[in-house]
């Protein structure tokens, strides 16, 4: 069904309704997307560490220390991403360790934001926003997915 914007109310007619049962599904899909992106970023950092590091630290990304550190962070991201993807392969009704893996990724992203904020003035002016926004968005998505997963299975744990 096509949608159109009603100029009087500013609302879309025929838009999809997001129900409370659809939210966990959407958050799970978001967690899968973040985990897959984490694996891709980690593999890139392992092979070409200056590529993902340059937006974060600028020209210093070419230094030996930054390349070694970038590869280490890449390995972390590959491990967190693959762990989350493997755990998220379970049915949504049986989240198992998915909550823990997704929460661990969200924590690492939140700490990346904190590290960026701690050095905000020294980071490249244009790209620091990109790094903070992408890490912050991944942290929020992961935290919401982990919380939803944890609360949706809590009643069944007491049964």
pLDDT at 23: 85
Q: What gap in Å lies between CA 156 and CA 94, rounded to an integer?
A: 10
Percent with pLDDT over 70 in the chain? 80
Q: Is pLDDT at 155 greater than 50 in this prediction?
A: no
Using CA atoms, how far apart are residues 23 and 49, in angstroms rounded to an integer? 36
Q: How confident is the model over 3-20, as a mean pLDDT?
A: 54
pTM of the model: 0.79
Give CA–CA dist 48/31, Å, rounded. 25
- Report the phi/psi class of residue 58: left, alpha or beta, with left for phi > 0 and alpha for psi in -120 to 50: left
For the stretch 51-103, pLDDT in tens is 999 999 999 999 999 999 999 999 999 999 999 999 999 876 666 789 999 99
What is the model's pLDDT at position 12?
52
What residues contact residue 112 under an 8 Å CB cut-off, 6+ apart?
131, 135, 139
């Amino acid at each position: 069904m096509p949608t159109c914007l009603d100029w009087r109310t500013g609302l879309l007619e025929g838009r999809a309704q997001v129900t409370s049962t659809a939210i966990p599904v959407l958050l799970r899909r978001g967690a899968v997307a973040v985990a897959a992106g984490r694996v891709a970023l980690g593999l890139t950092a392992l092979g070409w560490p200056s590529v993902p590091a340059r937006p974060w630290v600028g020209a210093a990304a070419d230094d030996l220390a930054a390349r070694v550190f970038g590869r280490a962070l890449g390995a972390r991201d590959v491990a967190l991403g693959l762990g989350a993807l493997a755990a998220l392969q379970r049915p949504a009704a049986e989240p198992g360790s998915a909550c823990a893996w997704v929460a661990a990724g969200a924590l690492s992203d939140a700490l990346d934001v904190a590290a960026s904020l701690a050095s905000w003035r020294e980071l490249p002016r244009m790209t620091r926003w990109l790094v903070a926004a992408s890490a912050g968005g991944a942290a929020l998505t992961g935290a919401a997915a982990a919380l939803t997963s944890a609360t949706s299975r809590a009643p069944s744990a007491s049964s």
